[in-house]
Chains A and B, each alone.
Chain A
Amino acid sequence: GDSVTQMEGPVTLSEEAFLTINCTYTATGYPSLFWYVQYPGEGLQLLLKATKADDKGSNKGFEATYRKETTSFHLEKGSVQVSDSAVYFCAQLGSSASKIIFGSGTRLSIRP
């Protein structure tokens, strides 16, 4: 069945470091792909999305490119800040359903 796999956390980085959180998916067809962010004690916020192959989603300095050939949607940021500390979820929305499938989440902590 359709699934999303993302790197396990926690990930701890120093401020201004480069961030990569890996995400791969399995799906029949071509799903839309998302990254959501959850700050402590809050619900999910959509961070960025891509709806077709080679699309790049970007927001708040974060980027992810929809790679069909590697079935990946890795999240990157060139210089992280303490305020980026949160849990990040990779997700897909299949072409045949309206049900979002989430990865297990990656907790990111940024040290000052």
Chain B
Amino acid sequence: GAVVSQHPSRVICKSGTSVKIECRSLDFQATTMFWYRQFPKKSLMLMATSNEGSKATYEQGVEKDKFLINHASLTLSTLTVTSAHPEDSSFYICSAQQGAGKTYEQYFGPGTRLTVT
């Protein structure tokens, strides 16, 4: 089956620093990648949708200057949390899809737990 990896799995950073999270599709090319945020004991909140080679589409209420997304290739998308603050601490999950639209299944990464101190 399709495998999506995330790196790192856990990261602790100091307030004010930036953190980059990588999402890779290991055995397929992902035209579209999604970034989600999950708060403790809550559901997943879609942050943004990124298509390879174009700008990400952010959901309402998500600061695009704070959460920088780069979908540089068909197998890699990165999420950079800039000037992180403790309220950014969360579990970030990416998913990857081979095409656009509902006919393509999304495959989820294992998640990255970010703790900002």
Contacts and interface: CB of A to CB of B under 8 A. Distances in A.
B108 A45 contact: yes
> Taking chain B's interface residues, is the majority helix, strand, or loop, or is none over half, making it mixed?
strand
Interface stretch (A54-62, A68-76, A101-109): A101-109
A93 interface: yes
B109 A43 contact: yes
Contacts of A102: 43-44
Contact of A107 (B41, B44, B106, B110): B41
Interface of B: 4, 6, 32, 34, 41-44, 46, 49, 93, 95, 97, 100-102, 104-111, 113
B102 A44 contact: no
Contacts, number: 48
Interface residues of A, number: 21
A45 B105 CA distance: 12
A43 B111 contact: yes
Interface of A: 32, 36, 41-46, 89, 93-95, 97-100, 102-105, 107
B42 A93 contact: no
Contacts of B101: 98
